[in-house]
Amino acid sequence: MRVVIQRVSRASVRIEENIKSEINTGLLVLLGIENEDTDEDIKWLSGKISKLRIFDDNEGVMNQSITEINGNLLCISQFTLHAKTKKGNRPSYIHAAKPEIAIPLYEKFVEQLSSDIEKEVKTGTFGASMQVELINDGPVTIIIDTKNKE
């Protein structure tokens, strides 16, 4: 699993001009799923995101997690995070999981995140054409890959 995490002051996702979900202060998580991803990837990544200390404390130091600030979370499926661009100019998505694998893992990931932050996680619609708007706060953007735990 690969995610791009953005600390936001607000974010929303539209589908066919209608707002599907929106949040205020919190995290926008773009999630890419590979065929080899497992429940262990879900648990590790969700735990990492829920404990990531990237929100300012009273001294202005990034020292608080999303749960400590009672922040919100919007999770969007994003198969293009697994784009391979080594050859040519057209990205290959061969490593991105097909819907029959990705949808159940995406749903489990959202459930695990919701449990870990003890709050409903807002979502888009898997496979839909979505327009995501956000105001990146900081800006703070972090990339995490469960296959390369740095």
pLDDT at 52: 98
For the cut 80, the answer to whether the pLDDT of residue 78 exceeds it is: yes
Q: Confidence band (pLDDT; 50, 70, 90) for 66?
A: very high
For the cut 80, the answer to whether the pLDDT of residue 130 exceeds it is: yes
Of 80, 123, 141, 146, which is the active-site residue?
80
Cα–Cα nearest to 74, from 2, 140, 133, 138: 133
Percent of the chain past pLDDT 70, that is, above it, reads: 99
For the cut 90, the answer to whether the pLDDT of residue 129 exceeds it is: yes
For the cut 90, the answer to whether the pLDDT of residue 142 exceeds it is: yes
Question: Is residue 67 annotated as part of the catalytic site, yes or no?
Answer: no
Q: How many CB atoms lie within 10 A of CB 139?
A: 10
pLDDT at 149: 80
The mean per-residue pLDDT over the stretch 46-56 comes to 98
- Separation between Cα atoms, residue 111 and residue 21, nearest integer Å: 16
What one-character DSSP code corresponds to residue 125? -
Query: Could you tell me if 50 and 67 are in contact, meaning their C-beta atoms sit under 8 angstroms apart?
Result: yes
Alpha-carbon distances of 24 from 12, 57, 100, 135, rounded to whole Å: 9, 18, 32, 10
Give the Cα-Cα-Cα angle 13, 130, 87 (nearest 5 degrees): 130
Tell me the chain's radius of gyration from C-alpha atoms.
15
Mean pLDDT of the chain: 96
For the cut 90, the answer to whether the pLDDT of residue 120 exceeds it is: yes
- Find where tokens 């459930």 sit: 111
Residues 6+ apart with CB under 8 A from 86: none
What one-character DSSP code corresponds to residue 84? B
Superfamily per CATH, domain 2-145: D-tyrosyl-tRNA(Tyr) deacylase (3.50.80.10)
The mean per-residue pLDDT over the stretch 94-112 comes to 95
For the cut 80, the answer to whether the pLDDT of residue 150 exceeds it is: no
